[in-house]
Every structure is written in structure tokens, then in C-alpha cells.
Amino acid sequence: MAGSSSAVPPSSDALRQSEQKWRELVRVEPQRAEAHFNLGNALTRLGRASEAIQSYQRALELEPTLSAYNNLGKAQYAAREFGAACDSFRRAISASPREPHLYRNLGTAQSALGDRQAALESFERALRLAPNALNVLQSLATTAMECGQWQLGHDTCSAWLRQKPCNVEALGLQSIALEELGQHAAARELLDFERMVEVIDQAAPPAGFTTLSEFNQALARHALEHPTLHLPANDDPRYHCPTLRLTDEFCDDPAGAAGALQRLVATAVEGYLERLSDALPKHPFLVGAPRRFTLRSWATVLEEEGNLLPHVHYASYVSAVYYPKVPRLMSGGAHAGYFEFGGGPRNFPVQNMAPVHRIEPREGRLLLFPSYFYHRTAPFSASEPRISIAFDTEALG
């Protein structure tokens, strides 16, 4: 598998230099709207939305422009000033009423404000202006389903998939819409747990390790001693419970147990996709599937009383989980601590969900599955940590 070839973002030093450049120009030419506007842009890239708002507002006082209103709205959105953001985007639309991205920005702010019906109207207007815009299709599909408008969500996902076959987010949303519309057979085709979830129990350790137990112990130790292991903040989308800790990139060193695991998973993903393509060549997940990937990994440490809520990895294509450490005893029911497929987003008013598919975690067990399958860890109690290493395969090219 090839490594990532994404562009390197500007360094923090370069961003601060840009800020100082425009701040100096504002000092020298305080009546120059362009200087205030570009200072706002620099502050936005530095994540200082409140300061950026002031710069954009000053630019608008000097010279009202479409770009300044739009960027002001984005900064207000970042600062969670959603009502003000709506006003700014409306002003931008008044200046240029046929720009689809302005209606999408307005709809995003309206949705954050809780006015999803207004957001739907804005996204539909954007789609009329740009029928093939993937980001507009994504926004419209998601908001339609948050409103329980399953047919609109289904139709929008279908249009999305015509533009971008095998898109995992569209497939995941489509599976929920089909279930809610009573098209259970079609939903089960997309969520074919029996054939699309692969379980591999490692029989032998990778090269360099005498036993599988030695390999697993090295992985567990690396996870527990990882310098980035932390409890996500309550407002972090990765937060699930107070006894969960996560690492940043886990396999950042090609040497040792982590590097060996990454190579093992890379080979397993390639084999998984080959076998799945042979078995289900016409499945929507596999038609036009990408063939080159980069792997991203992180460790998950659950202790005492833990669980993971239903979630999905829409930035990925195939996901994988490996278990180096499973408590000998997990209490809390017959399936305590199991890996479960099923469920869905809590902000969708769903009435029908696909049946739950459960897999027992075991040390040395690797799971592979499409990244649009909702999954969770069932609640459990234990006196020792439950450690798993998760992987996302992100398509290249």
C-alpha cells in the first residue's frame, strides 16, 4: 500500500507570519479594506474566530463585498454565533443570489441553529443551482433524514451515488432510509453482516515475535504507555464515556509490534477486498471501489465500566479492529463487552433498525468491515483494561 501524498498544510510559523504581515499593513493603512479582510483570513486559519470576526466587520465597514460577508459568516459559525452567521450569509446571497455555496453555508448555519426545515430549503435551493455538487447532496441527505423525510433522504443518496459510486457515507445513509421506507431486503443487501464482516483469528505471531501472546503483550504495553493516550473532551465527537482513552496515530513507528500490526492489517485488507469482490462483484460498496489506501490507526483503552456508542467512520472505506488485550471476565450480561453492528445516529428519528450482529472479542482476533456499518462496544464491567487497535483505510487517488 502506498503512503499518503496529501499536500502539507502551512506551518504555524507561516500562519503567524501571515498574521503579522497583514496586521502591519492594517497599522500603516487602516482605511484599506483588503488589509482587514486578509487579516481576518489569517486569523481564521489560526483558529481565532472571534478576532477574525472583528477584522471582517471592519473590512465591511470600509467596503461591503460578497467575500467579506461570506467569510464573516464562516467565522461567526466557527465561534458558534449561528444566528449572526445566518444574517451574514443572507447578506452575501443578496449580493449574489445564484451562488450555490452561499445557500449551503446558510443551510449549515440554520441547521446548527436548530431550524432544519429552513436548512432543507436552503440546501434544495443550492442543489437547483448545482445539481451535481457532492457537498450539497451530502448536506441535503443528512438534514432530510434528521427531519425524518426518508424518501427525500433516499432520493438524494441515490443522486449522490450516481455522482460518486461506493461513497461510504451515502451508502450508510441509504441503508437507514431504506429500512425506514420498509424496503428491508434492499437495506439488508447494503448491510450484509454475514458476508461483509470478516473475522480472522491469528494463529501465529508476525516475524520477530516468538509467540502470539508476546506480540499482543507488546501491543498492549505500547497502547498503555503511548504518549498521546488521553480522555477526549466531553464535546469531542470521539467521547463516549469517562473510562475511555484514545491515542493519536498508533502505528507511527515501522519497527516493533505496532509496525508489524500495520503490515499485518494492510495485507488483510487487500485480501478482504479481493475475496469480497469475487463474492459480491455487483454490490454497491464494490462497484468502482478504490484500490490504493493509506492506513490510519489508534488505540482504544476501555477500563472499569466502559462502552462505545454506535458510530461510523465515514472518512474511511474499510475499517478494522484488532484485540491485543481482552479482560478474562467481563460482567454486565451475556454479551458484555462484545463488538456489535447495528444502531444509528441518535439525531435521526428512526423507527426501524437492522438486527444487531454481535462478535465476541478475543485476543489475537481481527475484524474487517465496510466503514459505513454502524458499530459499538456493548457496556461491560471488568477489573482490567479492554484494549483494541482500530484502523481506517483511507483511499488514495
pLDDT at 1: 38
Instruction: CATH 1.25.40.10 in the chain: give the residue spans.
Output: 16-188
Distance CA 192, CA 356 (A): 12
Cell matching residue 42 = 489569517
Q: What is the identity of the amino acid at 358?
A: R
Instruction: CATH 2.60.120.620 in the chain: give the residue spans.
Output: 193-395
- For CA atoms 190, 191, 193, 196, the dihedral sign is positive
Q: What is the identity of the amino acid at 170?
A: A
Under the banding of pLDDT at 50, 70 and 90, the label for residue 232 is confident
CATH topology of domain 193-395: Jelly Rolls (2.60.120)
Cell matching residue 36 = 482587514
Angle between helices 49-62 and 33-45 (to 10 degrees): 160
Whether 158 shows a pLDDT value over 50: the answer reads yes
Of 98, 164, 173, nearest to 143 by C-alpha is 173
pLDDT at 6: 39
Q: What is the identity of the amino acid at 278?
A: D
The residue among 234 and 167 whose pLDDT is bigger is: 167
Cα separation values, 303 from 13, 155, 243, 388, Å? 39, 43, 5, 12
Whether 190 shows a pLDDT value over 90: the answer reads yes
Mean pLDDT across 308-326: 91
Residues ≥6 apart with Cβ < 8 Å to 182? 352
**Strand 386-395 to strand 318-325: parallel, antiparallel, or no bridges (unpaired)?**
antiparallel
| Average per-residue pLDDT for the chain | 92
**Per residue in 133-153, pLDDT tens?**
999 999 999 999 999 999 999
Q: Which CATH architecture has domain 16-188?
A: Alpha Horseshoe (1.25)
Under the banding of pLDDT at 50, 70 and 90, the label for residue 9 is low
Contact predicate 69/89, CB 8 Å: yes
Of 247, 249, 240, 358, nearest to 295 by C-alpha is 249
Residue with cell 461591503: 64
Whether 132 shows a pLDDT value over 90: the answer reads yes
**Per residue in 20-54, pLDDT tens?**
999 999 999 999 999 999 999 999 999 999 999 99
User: In three state form, how does the secondary structure of the chain look?
Assistant: CCCCCCCCCCCHHHHHHHHHHHHHHHHHCCCCHHHHHHHHHHHHHCCCHHHHHHHHHHHHHHCCCHHHHHHHHHHHHHCCCHHHHHHHHHHHHHHCCCCHHHHHHHHHHHHHHCCHHHHHHHHHHHHHHCCCCHHHHHHHHHHHHHCCCHHHHHHHHHHHHHHCCCCHHHHHHHHHHHHHCCCHHHHHHHCCHHHHCEEEECCCCCCCCCCHHHHHHHHHHHHHCCCCCECCCCCCCCCCCCCEEECCCCCCCCCHHHHHHHHHHHHHHHHHHHHHHHHCCCCCCCCCCCCCEEEEEEEEEECCEEEEEEECCCCCCEEEEEEEECCCCCECCCCCCCEEECCCCCCCCCCCCCCCEEECCCCCEEEEEECCCCEEEEEEECCCCEEEEEEEEEECC
Q: What percent of the chain has pLDDT over 70?
A: 97
**Of the candidate ranges 102-116, 181-195, 203-217, 282-296, the one whose mean pLDDT is the lowest:** 282-296
**Per residue in 81-131, pLDDT tens?**
999 999 999 999 999 999 999 999 999 999 999 999 999 999 999 999 999
